[in-house]
Amino acid sequence: MNHPAKTVIITGSSSGFGLKAAKAFADKGFQVFATMRGPEGKNASVKSELEAYSDFIHVVGMDVTNDESVKSVIAGVLDKAGKIDILINNAGVMYLGITEAFSIAQAREQMETNYYGAMRTIQAVLPAMREAKSGLIINTSSMVGQISAPYFSTYAATKHALEGYLQGLRYEVAPFGIDIAIVQPGPFPTGLSAAGQEPNRTDILDSYGTLAQIPPAMFEEFGKFMKSDQAPNPQMVVDAYLALADMPTGKRPTRTAVGLVWGVDEINAAKQPIQDRVLKEMQLENVLGGADA
């Protein structure tokens, strides 16, 4: 079998950015491994859609919250493709509402997908990338990876954790010719929030009285905007993935804010020089050199 020049793995490919990205990278000639949960069950129609779209797309069942699932799938991709050029960590869940009313279990569920899920896939691909001395890992964060708004706190915590993990890791793997990049979308009409859970500590919700009505009302109005002609196009995020893939190694920005980001681009611009200065003060210039842009 003749493989396309490059291979990309995209997690969370059943909808939203992941679904669009699988098609876009196939259009660019990549061999795409589109991973999702339930490709033979609840996502069977998506599997059929993607495989009919391009012979370059291979749909694979993978659960990023399961260690063995991730290890097995990544090993299978390496066996079939021989290499992994790009990993796009796109899988995510988002629960919105009164922060105190979310249980520890609900907070942990989000962390398992959004933070530990990305760690699992990164740890699974890095040995092969280090051996090849090349690779790109794109991670879908959020504007709330830098800020935290009311009613977003448990979700924002996962993205803050992810960005903290990736910032340091970026420096560590740069000497191997591997780039780590973060894409920070603002709100987009992808259905992510609609797939979330309501807070399950109902006694706490009740104790907030009329204040508990604010999040549902706010999200209802915002949902109307997301269905309007003024809503940002999710293709903007996919275009950011493609642009990062096209950039030379060592020249990719750490963070790329996309859409309605409410000042996050300004935070990024102010933060990176400070981050770089701290490394210099730690006498780690040899790690910093060429590792950031």
Extents of the domains making up the chain:
7-288
For residues 51-68, give the mean pLDDT: 96
Predicted confidence band at 91 (pLDDT cuts at 50, 70, 90)?
A: very high
The mean predicted confidence, pLDDT, of the chain is: 90
Q: How many CB atoms lie within 10 A of CB 104?
A: 9
The confidence score (pLDDT) of residue 184 equals: 94
pLDDT (tens digit per residue) in 198-225: 899 999 999 999 999 988 888 877 777 7
pLDDT (tens digit per residue) in 136-186: 999 999 999 998 989 999 999 999 999 999 999 998 999 999 999 999 998
From the number of C-beta atoms within 10 Å of its C-beta (0-12, 13-18, 19+), residue 208 rates as middle
CA distances from 47 to 19, 43, 72, 74, 168 (A): 10, 6, 19, 18, 35
Comparing CA positions, the residue from 51, 54, 69 lying closest to residue 11 is 69
pLDDT-above-70 percentage for the chain: 92
Widest distance between CA atoms in the chain: 63
The answer, yes or no, to whether residue 265 has pLDDT greater than 80, is yes
Q: What DSSP designation does 289 have?
A: T
The confidence score (pLDDT) of residue 224 equals: 77
The confidence score (pLDDT) of residue 5 equals: 74
Helix (H, G, I), strand (E, B) or coil at 126: helix
Burial code of 56-90, b = ≥16 C-beta within 10 A, e = fewer? bbbbbbbbbbeeebbeebbeebbeebebbbbbbbb
Spatial strand order of the sheet with 135-140 comes to 57-61, 31-36, 7-10, 86-89, 135-140, 178-185, 255-258
Comparing CA positions, the residue from 38, 39, 37 lying closest to residue 48 is 39
Decide if 109 contacts 59 (C-beta within 8 A): no
The residues assigned a catalytic role are: 155
Q: Which comes out higher in pLDDT, residue 33 or 94?
A: 33
The confidence score (pLDDT) of residue 198 equals: 87
The confidence score (pLDDT) of residue 189 equals: 66
Q: Which comes out higher in pLDDT, residue 191 or 239?
A: 239
Which helix H or strand E contains 137, and what residues bound it?
Answer: strand 135-140
Label the pairing between strands 255-258 and 31-36: unpaired
Q: Looking at the domain that runs over 7-288, which CATH code has it been given? A: 3.40.50.720
The confidence score (pLDDT) of residue 176 equals: 94
Q: Indicate yes or no: pTM above 0.85.
A: yes
Which helix H or strand E contains 243, and what residues bound it?
Answer: helix 235-246
Helix (H, G, I), strand (E, B) or coil at 7: strand
Q: What DSSP designation does 15 have?
A: S
